[in-house]
Amino acid sequence: MSAVGPGVGRAIKPDVLFPSGRQLFDVPPGSSGGVTVLTPSKVTAFPPGQRAAAPGAQPGELSATRYLCGTSNAAALASRAAARVCERFPELLDGNDLNQPPGRRYLAPLLKAFLAHGALWGEAPEVLRELLAGPDRSRASRATMGRLLGYGFADQERVTSCQEERVTLVGWNELAAEEGHIYLVPLPPSLSGKPVWKRLVITLAWLTPIHPRDRRYRRAQLWFEPPGRTELKELLAVKGCEADGRTTGRGTLQHEVFEGAKAAAFTADDHLAVKVSCREHAPKLADKVPYGLLVTLEVAPGVEIPIYEEVRLRLRPRVVVEP
C-alpha cells in the first residue's frame, strides 16, 4: 500500500503503474467485526507474489528464489523496462549532437517518456466508478481517476514495436527559458475520410534543475500544447480522454490520450502541430533543459490502413522543428 496523488503542485501521481505482486494478510484468530489490524504474511517460497532471486540457505547458493510483493518489485520492473528500451534501440546511447542519435544527455528524459508512453487506464476506471461514484458521480471524475491510476498501466510492447496500423515518432532537443519548439506530425492520407477508431498519444518528459531554497523548487517548467481543438476535431475527429488535461502539464511528465471513431477529411499536406515550451519557474534558469517527446498515431488492429509506411515516407527529410 502507498499514498495516492496528487503530487507536488497537484501534478499527476503516480506516474505509471507496474505490477508489484499480490499481498496476503494474516487475520488474527477470533476476529469477528469491528476494527482488526492485519499483519502481512511472511515471505515464502510459494505464491502469491512475484518470484525473485533471494539469499540461499547454503553459502554460495545462486538459484534460490522467494515470492515477494511491494513497490520495490514495481521499481525493479520499471528499471528492467528501461534497460530493454536501450537494448531495443542501442542508437539511444550514441551520438553527441542534435544531428546524431540523442546520446547520454537526452537518455534519461527519453527513457522516462518511453516508460510512460504506452500507459493506458484500460478497464480500471469502470471498476473504480462502481466503487467510488456517489449520487452525483463527482467522486468518479477524471481528476479522481488520475489520483488513483496516474497515467495508467505501462505497456512496453506498444512502445518498442510498431505495426502497419501504428506509428511512433521520437524527438529530443533542449530548451532555454522562454523558448519553444513546434513539431509538425504528418498525417497518413489513407486515413482521410475513413470512419474508423483511432488514437493519438503524446508524451513529454524532462528533468528539472532545482532551487532547494525556493518553495517553488523547480527552476524550469516544460509543457507541450497539443494540437488545437479545431485541428483535432477537423483533421482527426478525436477528443481527450483518460487523465485530465488540466493537470497533466503540472509535473515533469506530460502524457495525453485522444480517441475518436468519426470520419475526418484532410489533404496529403496536412499535419498536426505539437508545441513544446519552456519557462523559468524558480530563479534563475541559466542552462538549457533536455527533453524527450514521443507521439503515436494508430487505428484499430486489422484495419488495412498503412499508417506506419505513409508517415515514414513523409518524414524524409526528418520532422521539421521550428524555433
Residue 98: pLDDT above 60? no
Residue 221: pLDDT above 90? yes
In this structure, which amino acid lies at residue 154? Answer: A
Least confident of 101-115, 163-177, 180-194, 288-302: 101-115
Residue 199: pLDDT above 50? yes
Bridge partner residues of 173 (DSSP): 291
Residue 213 burial (10 A CB sphere; 0-12, 13-18, 19+): exposed
Mean pLDDT across 28-35: 72
CA distance linking residue 258 with residue 256, whole number of Å: 7
Domain range summary for the chain, segments of one domain joined by +: 71-322
What are the pLDDT digits (tens) for 121-169? 988 888 888 887 766 555 567 778 888 899 999 998 888 888 899 999 9
The three cell numbers locating residue 93: 546511447
Share of the chain above pLDDT 90, in %: 38
What are the pLDDT digits (tens) for 283-293? 888 889 999 99
Least confident of 20-29, 35-44, 272-281: 35-44
Residue 118: pLDDT above 70? yes
Other beta carbons within 10 angstroms of residue 132's beta carbon come to 16
Mean pLDDT across 215-223: 90
pLDDT at 13: 86
pLDDT at 230: 79
Least confident of 42-56, 63-77, 128-142, 186-200: 128-142
pLDDT bucket at 277, cuts 50 / 70 / 90: very high
Indicate whether this model's pTM tops 0.85.
yes
